[in-house]
Amino acid sequence: MIQADKLSRLYGEKYAVRDLSFHVRHGEVMGLLGPNGAGKSTTMKMLTCFLPPSSGTASMDGIDIQQDLHVRRRVGYLPEHAPSYSDLNVHGHLSFMGRMYGIPEATLNDKIREMSAACGLEGRLHQRIDELSKGYRQRVGLAASMLHNPDCLILDEPTTGLDPNQMVEIRQLIRHLGEKKTVLLSSHVLSEVDAVCDRMMIIDGGELRALGTRDELIALSSSGLVLDVCMRGDADAVVTAICKQYDGCEVDMHTVEESGLTKLTFRHVDDSIPLAESVFSAVVAVGGVLLEMHAQETSLEDVFHRLTGGTS
Amino acid sequence: MSMAWMQITSLCRKEWRIVMDTPLGYVMAIAFLIVCGFFFESNLFLIGQADMRGWFSILSLLLMFFIPAMAMRMLADEKRSGTFELLATMPITTMSIVWGKYLALWVQIVVLLALTLLYPLTLSWLGNLDIGQVLASYVAAILLASSYAAVCLYASAITRYEVVAYVLGFVMLLLVFLLSKAMPTFSPAVQDWLVLLSPLAHYQSMLRGLVRLSDVMFFITMSGLFLSLTWFELERRRWR
């Protein structure tokens, strides 16, 4: 489990991360979302003991990050851009990583075989890393981070630069890993976090803006009910009936001259009212024809945009 | 074997593998042997004696060019390529990283110097070579190279660029060299201090065939000082 409590990091006079508190449960994949410069990488650097926090604490499986060597043994880290020793071949790189984490020589080759199979690197073990594509380098980074079977995985933008097929494969792999480990991954690709993570947190300017499941975040920043309607008939009568029924209901109306259709958008702050049913009844009551009706859903992009001030 | 020692040797093995797997190591070794061979041969036929003192004096100058080249990528390359973040988040102390890198560099230098053993072997076959003096000179060369390696490792720690690391390392060693050469121009009191603090003065003293504890301690202290500075430079990110 990863636990952070009021974690802060100053660069000079400026806060890169400020009072960040969260926890990631065992068997959970947590997404760390934020625009560029939001403090995602700094948070990860603190959790992996690369940088000490200026204030606040964090722990991995109950071990404080001050005890850096103990924490590092339990964490698998994939830094941004998946750096690796490009002059070595894949096997050489993984062997070095394994030895540094204290994997005994007797089991090292088995571990490398196991991880390279999990990451789809079987045929590439004796290829130099600088000859590999970006996707395979990313896999090498992932394999290296999991080689010592860590309890916690911290992945900084694990699918950056991958093609769509590779992205799907890596996401599946992370999803699979998340069943047994604690995974914290950062990204500014919303679809990735949506597809992989159980919960997500949004940070901006180093501060936590929101934390929860996808549905919780959407509910949190929902701006009410928005209903798009397309009808033929007396639209003014429908609008009058609805506005009379629901106080505070806002309506945009647009009539297409050629077809005689009217497009309406109803907005109400209370998303629990049966607006769709009322609109349907009103259209029928004025003898009109209802051609289309759908409620606009708040997307994760909308949530992200609202919470980060549209800076991404 | 303790975990720290295992990590230091693993780091050393990794560096060695990079040197062996890339043309860098071979180019360096061939260039070093060609230059050393040239000066050895030219000295030998000029003097006509089985003596290596002249060659060992030139060797101190050659090390000034070759050691920065061998050390330049050690830490600068790790920083530039981002692998330093990988290394620094492994369960290894910063001091062990410094020791691993230094050991790797030291082994490379010792192997290069070992390749030149062909010269004294040839001389001992051709003439009457003072083996004791040659052995003391090799000890002096290894100690001088060790301290130069520590200086150049520090140069590699303070920049992300290999070329800058080379220039910095070379300039620091050049300053040491120039100070030693300019020694007679200083007052006797300053000269006494410079003799005490000059690696080349200690090196020249050992070339006479005498391995004094004070000389050995000087080189160990100098190496220790620059290794500590390297450690400080790598840890500095944490205090910013």
Q: Which residues contact B233 (CB under 8 A, 6 or more apart)?
A: B154, B157, B158
Please name the residue of chain A whose CA is at the shortest distance from the CA of residue B93. A69
Using CA atoms, how far apart are residues A34 and A311, in angstroms rounded to an integer?
10
In chain A, the number of structural domains is 2
Looking at A220, A241, A264, the residue that finishes a domain is: A220
Question: Inter-chain contact A85–B13, Cβ cutoff 8 Å?
Answer: no
Question: Inter-chain contact A72–B81, Cβ cutoff 8 Å?
Answer: no
Give me the domain span that covers residue A66. 2-220
- H/E element, B117: none
CATH label of the domain that carries residue A289:
3.30.70.260
pLDDT at position B240, please? 67
In chain B the first and final C-alpha atoms are separated, in Å, by 35
What is the three-class DSSP state of A240?
helix
Chain A environment of B240 (Cβ under 8 Å)? 11-12
Looking at A162, A185, A220, the residue that finishes a domain is: A220
The verdict on A167 and A37 lying in the same domain is yes
Question: Inter-chain contact B92–A100, Cβ cutoff 8 Å?
Answer: yes
Select the residue of B22, B90, B92 nearest A87 (Cβ to Cβ).
Answer: B22
This prediction's pTM: 0.85
pLDDT at position A226, please? 86
pLDDT at position A312, please? 39
Question: Inter-chain contact B14–A69, Cβ cutoff 8 Å?
Answer: no
pLDDT at position B128, please? 82
Chain A environment of B86 (Cβ under 8 Å)? 77, 79, 83-84, 144
| Cβ atoms of residues A2 and A47 within 8 Å | yes
List chain A pLDDT tens, one digit each, 312 residues: 899 999 999 988 899 999 999 999 988 999 999 888 899 999 999 999 999 999 999 999 889 988 888 899 999 999 988 999 999 999 999 999 999 999 999 999 999 999 998 888 888 999 999 999 888 898 899 999 999 999 899 999 888 767 788 788 888 888 887 888 899 999 878 888 888 899 999 999 999 999 999 888 887 766 678 899 999 989 999 999 999 898 888 899 888 877 889 999 998 888 788 989 999 999 999 999 999 999 887 777 888 888 887 643
Q: A312 lies in a domain?
A: no
Mutation target to probe the B interface, by most B beta carbons within 10 A, among A47, A100, A184 is A100
CATH label of the domain that carries residue A45:
3.40.50.300
For residue B145, give the nearest of B212, B68, B41 by alpha carbon. Answer: B68
The verdict on A267 and A184 lying in the same domain is no
Select the residue of B11, B18, B92 nearest A87 (Cβ to Cβ).
Answer: B18
pLDDT at position B196, please? 84
List chain B pLDDT tens, one digit each, 240 residues: 688 899 999 999 999 999 888 888 899 999 999 999 888 887 777 777 777 888 899 999 999 999 999 999 999 999 999 999 999 999 999 999 999 999 999 999 999 999 999 989 988 888 788 889 999 999 999 999 999 999 999 999 999 999 999 999 999 999 999 988 888 888 888 888 888 888 999 999 899 888 899 999 999 999 999 999 999 999 987 776
Q: A52 lies in a domain?
A: yes
Which residues of chain A approach chain B closer than 8 Å at the C-beta?
Answer: 11-12, 45, 48-52, 69-70, 72-73, 75, 77, 79-81, 83-89, 92, 96-97, 99-102, 144
Mutation target to probe the A interface, by most A beta carbons within 10 A, among B2, B9, B14, B16 is B14
Q: A214 lies in a domain?
A: yes
Using CA atoms, how far apart are residues A45 and A55, in angstroms rounded to an integer?
14
Question: Inter-chain contact A102–B6, Cβ cutoff 8 Å?
Answer: yes
| Cβ atoms of residues B122 and B196 within 8 Å | no
Q: Determine the distance in angstroms separating the CA of A77 from the nearest CA of chain B, rounded to an integer.
A: 8
The verdict on A234 and A182 lying in the same domain is no
Using CA atoms, how far apart are residues A153 and A170, in angstroms rounded to an integer?
14
The verdict on A124 and A50 lying in the same domain is yes
